[in-house]
C-alpha cells in the first residue's frame, strides 16, 4: 500500500461526533480506511481527488449509518463494492456482520484485499464476480448497493442473490421516488412485499442517507 503521509480530510465537529457514535472503539480502524481512500484509493482511480475533503461526510459516514437498518449477526452481500462503499464501512462499524464484497474489476479486488488485510477485518470475504454470476454462491440476509445503477436495473442483479427472502438496501439520492415508480413492474415481478424510502442517520448527519428498502 502507499505510505500514509498524504494530507487527510479533517474529522472534527459534528462529523467527529457522528463518527464516534457510529464506529465507537472502531474509529481508529475507520480512520485508517480513510487514509487508504485518500492515498492509494486516489492513485488507483477508486476515488476522485476532489472527494478527499468530504470523504467522511459524503462517503464514509453516509454509508456507515446504514448499519442501523441491519439486524444483529446478519449476512450482507455488497454489490459493486468498488472502494468499499458501503461494504467496508459496514464491516468496520459492525464486526457482528458477515460481509461479502462482490466486485468484478480485478484492480478494485486487489485494492480491497490489501485494505481488508491491513485493517485486520475478519468479517469480510471478497468475491471477484459480476453480481448476477454470484447468485447461488453467496448467502445473504441483505444486499447493499451504492452508485451501481438505477433501481430498475439494480433489481435484476441484487434481488436474485436473496433467493426469495431478505432485503435490498439501495443507497440513493433525490431520484429515489422516481426510480421506484419506474421499477414498479419489476418489483411486482420479483414479488417484493414492501418498497419504502428511509432516511438513515437522521440524528447524526446534516444530510441523512436516503435508502430504498425492498423487502421480499
**So where are the chain's domains?**
64-215
User: Could you give the CA distance from residue 53 to residue 25 in angstroms, rounded to a whole number?
Assistant: 23
The answer to whether 92 and 30 have CB atoms below 8 angstroms apart is yes
Find out whether 146 is annotated in a ligand binding site.
Answer: yes
pLDDT exceeds cutoff 70 at 145 = yes
Strands 209-215 and 167-172 come out as antiparallel
Find out whether 202 is annotated in a ligand binding site.
Answer: no
Strands 75-79 and 142-146 come out as parallel
Q: What is the dihedral of CA 191, 210, 34, 40, to 10 degrees?
A: 60
Find out whether 131 is annotated in a ligand binding site.
Answer: yes
Torsion over CA: 169, 141, 55, 157 (sign):
negative
pLDDT exceeds cutoff 60 at 1 = no
Three-class DSSP category at 187: helix
Q: What is the mean pLDDT of residues 173-187?
A: 95
Report residue 6's pLDDT band, with 50, 70 and 90 as the boundaries. low
pLDDT exceeds cutoff 90 at 193 = yes
From the list 173, 168, 165, 166, the residue with the least C-alpha distance to 157 is: 168
pTM summary value: 0.94
Grid coordinates belonging to 209? 442517507
pLDDT value at position 10? 84
Give 98's DSSP letter.
Answer: E
Find out whether 183 is annotated in a ligand binding site.
Answer: no
pLDDT in tens, 71-125: 999 999 999 999 999 999 999 999 999 999 999 999 999 999 999 999 999 999 9
Considering the segment(s) 64-215 as one domain, its CATH architecture is 3-Layer(aba) Sandwich (3.40)
Q: What is the mean pLDDT of residues 35-57?
A: 94
Amino acid at each position: 500500500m502507499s505510505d500514509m503521509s498524504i494530507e487527510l480530510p479533517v474529522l472534527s465537529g459534528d462529523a467527529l461526533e457522528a463518527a464516534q457514535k457510529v464506529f465507537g472503539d472502531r474509529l481508529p480502524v475507520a480512520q485508517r480506511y480513510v487514509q487508504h481512500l485518500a492515498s492509494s484509493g486516489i492513485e488507483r482511480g477508486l476515488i476522485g481527488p476532489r472527494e478527499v475533503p468530504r470523504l467522511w461526510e459524503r462517503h464514509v459516514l453516509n454509508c456507515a449509518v446504514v448499519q442501523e437498518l441491519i439486524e444483529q449477526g446478519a449476512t450482507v452481500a455488497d454489490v459493486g463494492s468498488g472502494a468499499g462503499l458501503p461494504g467496508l464501512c459496514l464491516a468496520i462499524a459492525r464486526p457482528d456482520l458477515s460481509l461479502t464484497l462482490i466486485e468484478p474489476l480485478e484492480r478494485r479486488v486487489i485494492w480491497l484485499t490489501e485494505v481488508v488485510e491491513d485493517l485486520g477485518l475478519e468479517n469480510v470475504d471478497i468475491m471477484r464476480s459480476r453480481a448476477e454470476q454470484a447468485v447461488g454462491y453467496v448467502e445473504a440476509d441483505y444486499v447493499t448497493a451504492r452508485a451501481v445503477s438505477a433501481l430498475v436495473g439494480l433489481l435484476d442483479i441484487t434481488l436474485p442473490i436473496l433467493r426469495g427472502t431478505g432485503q435490498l438496501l439501495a443507497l440513493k439520492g433525490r431520484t429515489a421516488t422516481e426510480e421506484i415508480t419506474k421499477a414498479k413492474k419489476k418489483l411486482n415481478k420479483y414479488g417484493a412485499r414492501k418498497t419504502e424510502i428511509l432516511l438513515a442517520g437522521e440524528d447524526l448527519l446534516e444530510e441523512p442517507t436516503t435508502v430504498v428498502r425492498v423487502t421480499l
